[in-house]
Amino acid sequence: MACTSEPPAGNLVTADANATAPASNVVEDGGKLVVAFGDSLYAGYGVLPQESFPADLQKALAADGIAATVHNAGVSGDTSAAGLARLAFTLDGLPRKPDLVIVGLGGNDMLRGIDPEQTRANLTAICEELKKRGIPIMLTGMLAAPNMGADYAGRFNPIYADLAKRYGATLYPFFLDGVVGTPALMLPDHIHPNPQGIDRIVGKVAPVVADALGD
């Protein structure tokens, strides 16, 4: 799940949909440029900027000997439609073409009960734009919450694997795998990971990113 600027029924802590964590456009000479393009789970809701997923991922890659700048292009509250609307602007504002764009959107669509076909269409359009620009893609997937029902989950959950196959994208099936549902790894809102949770996520995601950059 992710953070939404318009909560559905139930207790849900939300973030400013217009807020984004600070990001650097400085790319080391000879280093890779990775763009983390997503919602509050990427933006770093509830944690310090240096504890966010992009910052933590950059440190993990460096520790593995990979010189990379991970640009934080996460915006809290973004749906897949909002992400699509700002994609070109984000890419055009970078110092050069990225070596990889990691897309993490769709959680807010699910929380709002948006038709999965709309989510699929928006994520497809995002992948099409990245493909047109010759930018490698990695998708971090989401899963529908149990209270969304089996029918919704059956239409929502396959989106990421389908798109990864269609566009030859690297896939990490569930961004919150091993973290969601574990209070010690989550913020009090039970939606966003705390710094320890982000460390756990990055520990799993970083090797996948490293492989994608190697490819």
Residues that are catalytic: 40, 189, 192
Distance (Å, rounded) from C-alpha 41 to C-alpha 119? 17
The residue assigned the tokens 């492989």 is 211
Kindly give the pairing relationship between strand 100-104 and strand 32-38.
Answer: parallel
> In whole angstroms, what separates CA 83 from the centre of its chain?
11
Distance (Å, rounded) from C-alpha 215 to C-alpha 204? 18
Kindly give the pairing relationship between strand 68-74 and strand 32-38.
Answer: parallel
8 Å CB contact between 69 and 135: no
Distance (Å, rounded) from C-alpha 171 to C-alpha 127? 13
SS3 64: coil
State how far the alpha carbon of 31 is from the alpha carbons of 26, 62, 140, 156, 201, in Å. Answer: 10, 10, 23, 36, 23
Look up residue 188 and give its two tokens: 């009090």
